[in-house]
Chain A
Amino acid sequence: MAERPREPKSKYTADRDIAGAFEGETVTRRRFMTLTTHGAGAVAVAAFALPALGFAAGTAIFERPKASWEPIGPTGDFPSDSYVPRVVTEVTGVGEVGKTTVYVRARNAEIDGPPDPEIDTNFVAISTRCMHLGCPVRYVDAAKRFICPCHGGVYDFRAAVAGGPPVRPLDRFYTRVRGGQVEIGPRYSVNSEFDRHPKYRDPGQPLDGIGQYLYPGRFSTPLLNSQ
C-alpha cells in the first residue's frame, strides 16, 4: 500500500490540536523545556571547561616575558675572526636546564655586510640551538663551522646552512654594550638572507618564501623594551 504524501504540518501549535496551545504559539512546551535544559547544561559545562582550557593554554601561548640582559664579558674579549663560547641563563629558576651556550664574536664588516640600522650590531651572538630539531651545535674552529651531533647539520662561519637537514641559519641574540660589558638579550631568527625576524621561531620552521607564513610568529616573544 503506497503512502499518500502527508499534508505539511502547520507551524502553529494551536492548529495541531495540542491541548492548551496559545494563539500564535510555534514552539511546544515540551520542546521549549528540552531546549532550555540542554542550553543550561551547555552553559554549566562551558562555565568550568572554558576557564580550565584558558588556564592551561593562556599563559603558555600568550604571556610575553620581559627581555633580560646578561653581561658576558668586556668588549675586548671577543675577536672578529673566531667565536668565544659563553654560557647564559635563558630561563631562571630551573637550574642547569635553563642555561644555554652562546658563541660570540665582534662584528666583521667584510663578512657580515652592512649593519642593521635598527639594532646595535657591533657583536654577533650565535645561538647553539640547531635549526633542524634543536640539538646543541658546537663551533669547530679548525673548520670554521658549526656542527650538530644529532643529524649532521653543518653551518658556515656566518652560521648559514652549509649542509644537512637544518632549514635556516642559526638563531642570533640581540647584543648591547653597557659599561664596557657586552650584554646578551633575547634571541631572534633570521632567514637565509639574514633578514631579522624578531618573533623567533622554533627549530624546524623555515623562514624563506611561504615558510614565514606557514609558521607564524608566536605571541610569546620576549618584550624588547630597552635597546
Chain B
Amino acid sequence: MKLPKLPAPPLPSALKPPPKGPGEREKTGPAHEVKDAGIAAVDWVDERTSLSGGLRWAMFRKVPKGTNWFYTLGSATLFAFLSQAVTGVFLAMYYDPSATRAYESARHITNEVFLGEFVRGMHKWGSTLMVILIFLHMARVFFFGAYKYPRELNWVIGVALLILTMAMSFTGYLLPFDQRSYWATIVGVNINGTGPLVGPFLSDFLRGGAEFGATTLSRFYAIHMLLIPGLIAALIGAHLYLVAKLGTTAPPWLKSEPAEELHTERV
C-alpha cells in the first residue's frame, strides 16, 4: 500500500536536494542502498506511528519576527536539567545514601574515581547554573510580556517547575553529608516547621521522625532521585507542548503589521 506523501518540510534552498537533470539515471551503488535502507527503516516506524507529523508540528513552527538570543534561555534551562539528570544518574552509581557511608562515598567519587571530580563538579555547579538560568528565563518571559493570554497556564507550570527545582536544590544539598549539608538541612527543616498547624508534622515527615536520623538521608535521597525528577520531566513535557501549541511571542518593541492582503484592501 502506498501512503500519501506528506508535504516536504520548509528547508532552506541550500539544503533541498537538486532536481533530477534531463536524461539523468537513478543513482545506484552501495552508498545509495544504505541510504535507501535508512529511509525504509524510518518509513517503517513512521507508517505505524505517524511520528513525523508530530515532529514536524513541534519542530517546524513559525516564529515571530524579532526572535532573538533571549529566546534560547528556556532551552538552556532544559539542557541544564538534562545535564543534571545524566550526571546525577552516574553519580548514583558510586554514591551510598547511608548516614555512616555517605561522606566517605562522596569523598571517594571526588578523589579516586576516574573523572569523578569533574562529573561531581558538573552536577554541583550545574545545579547553581540551572537556578540562574531559570530566573533569567523567567525574567525574559516577564519583561517580554510572554506570560499574557493565552500563555498564563504555561507561566503557572513554569512556577511549579521553579518550586520543584528549589526542592531539588534543598534535598540535594544534604547528600554530600558534611557539616555544611547537615546544618543547612537542620535549619531548612526548621524553617519548614514554622508553618503554622501543619509545619511540625511536615518536619517529622521530612526527617522521617522527631530527630534527624538514619532515615532522613535516604528519604532526601529518594525525593531527590526519584520523586521530583519524574515530576519535573512530566511538567517540562507539558511546558513544551504548550510552547509548541501556542507559539512564541514577538518582542514587545515590534509593532504589529497588518497582513499583506489587508494592505491591498485598504487602498
> Which residues of A pack against B, CB within 8 Å?
56-57, 59-61, 63, 65, 90-91, 93-95, 97-98, 133-135, 150, 201-205, 214-222
Contacts and interface: CB of A to CB of B under 8 A. Distances in A.
Given A95-B99, A205-B200, A63 B209 contact: yes
Given A135-B186, A203-B190, A205-B194, A218 B201 contact: yes
Given A93-B214, A95-B99, A220-B209, A61 B190 contact: no
Nearest to B188: A133
Contacts of B197: 214-216
- Counting chain B residues whose Cβ lies within 8 A of the other chain, the interface size class is 20 to 34
A218 B200 contact: yes
Contacts of B190: 133-134, 202-204
Interface in B168-188: 182-183, 186-187
Interface in B209-223: 209-215, 219
B205 A60 contact: yes
Given A202-B193, A205-B194, A94 B186 contact: no
Contact of A221 (B100, B203, B210, B213): B210
A63 B207 CA distance: 13
Given A61-B201, A201-B200, A202-B193, A150 B208 contact: no
B205 A57 contact: yes
16 contacts: A61-B205, A65-B209, A93-B214, A97-B182, A98-B213, A133-B191, A134-B186, A135-B187, A205-B194, A205-B200, A215-B196, A215-B199, A218-B201, A220-B204, A220-B209, A220-B210
Contact of B196 (A95, A133, A201, A214): A214
A125 B99 CA distance: 27
Nearest to B197: A214
Nearest to A62: B204
Contacts of A221: 210
Shortest 8 CB-CB contacts between residues of A and residues of B:
A220-B210, A94-B99, A214-B196, A202-B193, A204-B194, A91-B213, A133-B187, A134-B186
Given A56-B205, A201-B200, A215-B197, 13 more contacts: A91-B211, A95-B100, A97-B182, A98-B213, A133-B191, A134-B189, A202-B200, A215-B193, A215-B196, A216-B197, A216-B200, A218-B200, A220-B210
Nearest to A220: B210
